Amino acid sequence: RKEVEQDPGPFNVPEGATVAFNCTYSNSASQSFFWYRQDCRKEPKLLMSVYSSGNEDGRFTAQLNRASQYISLLIRDSKLSDSATYLCVVIPMDSSYKLIFGSGTRLLVRP
């Protein structure tokens, strides 16, 4: 079983739609969680951290469910520019230097 699992998609949604991705992790002792965004043939960039209490940044909301060991990303009012691959990232308890990446969920927002 992979340490971090994501549905590869693609999720194909119209502009203005609300879309949500989940990511499951296997190590219950994981300490930190993040969502990164990666555009086609570009480097990953940090989108947002995921806190236990949930956090929101504009149209983006991230949630953590430790009991069920998953994190989620909700995008409201999708824009064409949201089309990208979204990478779930987990930092294990035993090392704050190592990031464990999911293989990503691809989002396509159509006009």
Residues that bind other proteins (CB under 8 A): 4, 8, 31-32, 34, 42-46, 49, 87, 89, 91, 96-99, 101-104
| Least separation in angstroms between CB 68 and other proteins | 21
Q: For other proteins, which is the closer residue by CB, 13 or 99?
A: 99
Q: For other proteins, which is the closer residue by CB, 8 or 16?
A: 8
Phi first, then psi, for residue 51 (nearest 5°) are -105, 160
- Provide CB contacts within 8 A for 22, sequence distance 6+: 6, 7, 70, 71, 72
Q: For other proteins, which is the closer residue by CB, 49 or 69?
A: 49
Dihedral sign, Cα of residue 16, residue 49, residue 46, residue 11: negative
Tokens linked to 37:
């965004």
| Least separation in angstroms between CB 46 and other proteins | 7
Q: What is d(CA 4, CA 19) in angstroms, rounded to the nearest whole number? A: 20
Q: For other proteins, which is the closer residue by CB, 1 or 98?
A: 98
| Least separation in angstroms between CB 5 and other proteins | 10
| Least separation in angstroms between CB 63 and other proteins | 17
Helix (H, G, I), strand (E, B) or coil at 20: strand
